[in-house]
């Protein structure tokens, strides 16, 4: 059987034309408005309370809509966004170092290896400046310089310092800002908050998204919930690899269920592998820890020049060290984008020059910076990250270089959305990491927080009005046949999972799936490897439905059951990721096909054949997925071989 078939092309019908710097203004002007008195008659469900969902829910409620917010954690404040460390980009040009909206736009399109939409990225760069003002007004304690002005630092893929930060806890501080805005609206009665509720199905009525089926994770009760529109802000799916830097709970269920109901899934194979994570240390681990990219402002990456040199780092003299990023990419040095730095680390380790157990590590060394700036300055900038590293490894990074290795970190793929952030299901909007929209094949550091907050505070609250202006829509309740069917699907699946009563834990399946994905759909992919992975995933999925053991029942708190549902969805997603990676016979950004590389080992794009977004349609599982191509046009940043040399 073919792995996929090709359907009609897809176009972004909402994308405005004309000069790029006027497009967002024009779209906002042309979009319909909802008069304030009518907003309270309209209800919006927002799934997710991370930076994207939290900011969207607060803003929509502030505008006067009735909002129903859902998350699976015990508090909206515990969304995965809280873990973000290094910073958030904005084209403020406070440093007067040549930054501008156009430069941020240019860097992001280039950083994404020319696989994102120009209009979306330009809007993101424009809105970036408002985000900082919004957050400062909320009291987010961004780092400041001695004179009191907001401080910035460098992140990968840029030669200007545009990254605003709050030590190594930027996500936490930003999320507290969004959370307090959300809490204010909860207090005012405009947001109904439903923590510890997991969305397990989307309800589509007459072609429109009208609600969700949720399970109360404490009581096990399953209910159908309705609204005039549904917003998914459910985050990324990096945990399909089992080991990643994501929070353990991150999963694909919300977006995958919507995909099964008709929302196209775009570019699922674009995965970001972050170069600076604490290396895997054994089978006991269930997650990996990021060492923020901000550390590469001062840390220098190196390995011994000689293969198999196992001397302690301090015993390896300067002339016997290879600062390979500075050597290969002198213009950007240690701050090349993540895809480039990850591949370079893999290459030196594959060549037998890696350090630490198994040779799967490179050094990130602060000795020069400590000599130059003093320990206190380094402590002030990165203290919490150094402490985290020491707690995990037992090594003091002020004394010995950190050991780092690439790990799965972020997913650029997600549900396909148009310029209004609406999916292929009318009334279903997708924001933050859950959509595919702005990062192309590789996301630059500090751009996820920017995108999540741009979507939540500024873009969605404008564009969703264009849809809601036609509402309120006809009332639907739990007795509607579509709602009954969606709920029955959820109940049947839970029953099926519990009924297997096998002899293998959910985790053991998840771990094995992750190994297949890392091996064949990770940092390097090949046709043979991907075909093998698809066969292995199918076999393992079959085994899962025969042998998985989910103890307990569905009538109360049951974390094995929660995990089992998520892993079942990961199996289906994993196959689509491999099909997407297999069909894209080029290398671009985080998608590196061994067969397509330049003579010096860089990604080799094929713009003639692959300058498109791959939007996949679900066909029912037994039929091959259908590929719809959205052509990408570049009028302002012309595709070239990306160079950071």
Phi, psi of 486 (to 5 degrees): -65, -40
Question: Which of residues 432 and 529 has its CB atom nearest to ligand FAD in the complex?
Answer: 432
Minimum distance of ligand FAD from residue 79's CB (angstroms): 3
Minimum distance of ligand FAD from residue 614's CB (angstroms): 21
- Sign of the torsion angle spanned by Cα atoms 325, 331, 336, 340: negative
Of 10, 67, 124, 233, the residue at the interface with ligand FAD (CB under 6 A) is 233
Of 42, 45, 61, 88, the residue at the interface with ligand FAD (CB under 6 A) is 88
DSSP class of residue 470 equals: T
Of 20, 51, 269, 490, the residue at the interface with ligand FAD (CB under 6 A) is 51
Neighbours of 59 (CB within 10 A): 22
Helix (H/G/I), strand (E/B), else coil: 565: helix
Using CB under 6 A as the binding rule, whether residue 134 contacts ligand FAD is answered as no
Contacts to ligand FAD from residues 185-204, by CB under 6 A: 198-199
Question: Which of residues 7 and 262 has its CB atom nearest to ligand FAD in the complex?
Answer: 262
Give the whole-angstrom CA distance, residue 215 versus residue 494: 10
Of 16, 65, 68, 86, the residue at the interface with ligand FAD (CB under 6 A) is 86
Of 298, 433, 438, 602, the residue at the interface with ligand FAD (CB under 6 A) is 433
Give the whole-angstrom CA distance, residue 619 versus residue 376: 58
Q: What is the dihedral of CA 183, 185, 186, 191, to 10 degrees?
A: -130
Using CB under 6 A as the binding rule, whether residue 47 contacts ligand FAD is answered as yes
Beta bridge partners of 627: 6, 616
DSSP states of 473-536 as a string? PPP--TTSHHHHHHHHHHHHHHHHHHHH--SB-HHHHHHHHHHHHHHHHSSSB-HHHHHHHHHH
Minimum distance of ligand FAD from residue 431's CB (angstroms): 7
Is 338 catalytic? The answer is yes
Give the whole-angstrom CA distance, residue 20 versus residue 7: 30
Minimum distance of ligand FAD from residue 273's CB (angstroms): 12
Stretch binding ligand FAD (CB under 6 A), from 57-65, 250-258, 413-421, 594-602? 250-258
Stretch binding ligand FAD (CB under 6 A), from 7-15, 341-349, 441-449, 586-594? 441-449
Minimum distance of ligand FAD from residue 571's CB (angstroms): 16
Q: Which of 338, 403, 584, 605 is catalytic?
A: 338
Nearest to 46 by CA among 476, 464, 472: 464
Contacts to ligand FAD from residues 152-181, by CB under 6 A: 170-171
Of 53, 112, 522, 590, the residue at the interface with ligand FAD (CB under 6 A) is 53
Tokens 């909802």 sit on residue? 34
**C-alpha distance from residue 220 to each of 445, 446, 468, 512 (Å):** 39, 38, 32, 28
Give the whole-angstrom CA distance, residue 265 versus residue 4: 14
Give the whole-angstrom CA distance, residue 422 versus residue 437: 11
Question: Which of residues 316 and 523 has its CB atom nearest to ligand FAD in the complex?
Answer: 523
Stretch binding ligand FAD (CB under 6 A), from 66-74, 592-600, 607-615, 616-624? 66-74
Question: Which of residues 69 and 587 has its CB atom nearest to ligand FAD in the complex?
Answer: 69
Using CB under 6 A as the binding rule, whether residue 439 contacts ligand FAD is answered as no
Give the whole-angstrom CA distance, residue 205 versus residue 211: 9
Of 205, 209, 448, 459, the residue at the interface with ligand FAD (CB under 6 A) is 448
Contact 257, 356 (CB under 8 A): no
Question: Which of residues 165 and 419 has its CB atom nearest to ligand FAD in the complex?
Answer: 165
Question: Which of residues 460 and 483 has its CB atom nearest to ligand FAD in the complex?
Answer: 460
Give the whole-angstrom CA distance, residue 293 versus residue 444: 10
Nearest to 269 by CA among 246, 293, 237, 247: 237
Using CB under 6 A as the binding rule, whether residue 354 contacts ligand FAD is answered as no
Cα 307 from chain centroid (whole Å): 36
Using CB under 6 A as the binding rule, whether residue 215 contacts ligand FAD is answered as no
Nearest to 361 by CA among 390, 404, 314, 417: 404
Minimum distance of ligand FAD from residue 310's CB (angstroms): 30
Beta bridge partners of 88: 164
Burial letters 550-585, b for 16+ CB under 10 A, else e: beeebeeebebbbbbbbbbbbbbbbbbbbbbbbbbe
Minimum distance of ligand FAD from residue 559's CB (angstroms): 14
Binding-site string for ligand FAD from residue 387 to residue 416, where x marks contact by CB under 6 A and - marks none: ----------------------xx------
Question: Which of residues 253 and 587 has its CB atom nearest to ligand FAD in the complex?
Answer: 253
Report, as residue numbers or ranges, the catalytic residues: 338
Which spans of this chain sit near ligand FAD (rule: CB under 6 A)?
47-53, 70-73, 79-81, 83-88, 170-171, 198-199, 233-236, 245-246, 250, 253-254, 290, 292, 409-410, 432-434, 446-449, 452
């Amino acid at each position: 059987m073919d792995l996929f078939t090709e359907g009609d092309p897809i176009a972004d019908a909402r994308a405005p034309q004309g000069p790029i710097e006027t497009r967002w203004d024009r779209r906002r002007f042309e979009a319909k408005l909802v008069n304030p008195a009518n907003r309270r008659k309209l209800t919006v469900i927002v799934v997710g309370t991370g930076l994207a969902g939290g900011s969207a829910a607060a803003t929509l409620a502030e505008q006067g809509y009735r909002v129903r917010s859902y998350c699976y954690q015990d508090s909206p404040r515990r969304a995965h966004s809280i873990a973000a460390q290094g910073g958030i980009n904005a084209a403020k040009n406070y440093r007067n170092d040549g930054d501008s909206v156009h430069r941020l736009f240019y860097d992001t399109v280039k950083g994404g290896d020319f696989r994102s939409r120009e209009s979306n990225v330009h809007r993101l760069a424009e809105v970036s400046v408002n985000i900082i003002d919004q957050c400062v007004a909320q009291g987010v304690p961004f780092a400041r310089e001695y004179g009191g002005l907001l401080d910035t630092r460098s992140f990968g893929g840029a030669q200007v310092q545009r990254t605003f930060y709050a030590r190594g806890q930027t996500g936490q501080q930003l999320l507290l800002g969004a959370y307090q805005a959300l809490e204010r609206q909860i207090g005012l009665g405009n947001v109904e908050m439903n923590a510890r509720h997991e969305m397990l199905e989307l309800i589509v009525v007459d072609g429109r998204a009208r609600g969700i089926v949720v399970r109360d994770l404490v009581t096990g009760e399953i209910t159908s919930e309705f609204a005039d529109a549904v917003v998914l802000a459910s985050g990324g799916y990096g945990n399909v690899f089992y080991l990643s830097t994501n929070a353990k709970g991150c999963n694909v269920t919300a977006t995958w269920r919507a995909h099964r109901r008709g929302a196209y899934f775009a570019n699922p194979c674009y995965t970001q592998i972050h170069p600076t994570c604490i290396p895997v240390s054994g089978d006991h681990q269930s997650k990996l820890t990021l060492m923020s990219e901000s550390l590469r402002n001062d840390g220098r990456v190196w390995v011994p020049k000689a293969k198999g040199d196992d001397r302690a780092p301090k015993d390896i003299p300067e002339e016997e060290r290879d600062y390979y990023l500075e050597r290969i990419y002198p213009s950007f040095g240690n701050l090349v984008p993540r895809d480039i730095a990850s591949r370079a680390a893999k290459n030196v380790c594959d060549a037998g020059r890696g350090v630490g157990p198994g040779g799967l590590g490179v050094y990130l060394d602060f000795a020069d910076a400590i000599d130059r700036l003093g320990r206190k300055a380094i402590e002030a900038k990165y203290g919490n990250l150094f402490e985290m590293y020491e707690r995990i490894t037992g090594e003091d990074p002020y004394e010995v270089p950190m050991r780092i290795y690439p790990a799965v970190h972020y997913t650029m793929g997600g549900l396909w959305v148009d310029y209004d952030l609406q999916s292929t299901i009318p009334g279903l909007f997708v924001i933050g990491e859950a959509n595919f929209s702005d990062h192309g094949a590789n996301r630059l550091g500090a751009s996820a927080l920017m995108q999540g907050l741009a979507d939540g505070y500024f873009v969605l609250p404008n564009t969703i009005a264009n849809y809601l202006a036609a509402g309120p829509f006809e009332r639907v309740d739990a007795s509607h046949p579509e709602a009954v069917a969606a709920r029955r699907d959820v109940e049947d699946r839970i029953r099926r999972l519990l009924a297997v009563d096998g002899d293998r834990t959910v985790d053991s399946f998840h771990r094995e799936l992750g190994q297949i994905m890392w091996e064949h759909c990770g940092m390097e992919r090949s046709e043979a490897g991907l075909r093998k992975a698809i066969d292995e995933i199918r076999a393992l999925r079959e085994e899962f439905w025969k042998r998985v053991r989910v103890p307990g029942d569905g009538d109360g708190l049951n974390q094995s059951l929660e995990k089992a549902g998520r892993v079942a969805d990961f199996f289906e997603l994993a196959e689509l990721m491999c099909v997407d990676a297999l069909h894209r016979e080029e290398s671009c950004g985080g998608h590196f096909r061994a067969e397509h590389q330049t003579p010096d080992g860089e990604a080799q794009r094929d713009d003639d054949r692959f300058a498109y977004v791959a939007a996949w349609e679900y066909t029912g599982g037994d039929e091959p997925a259908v590929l719809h191509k959205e052509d990408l046009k570049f009028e302002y940043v012309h595709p070239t071989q990306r160079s950071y040399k």
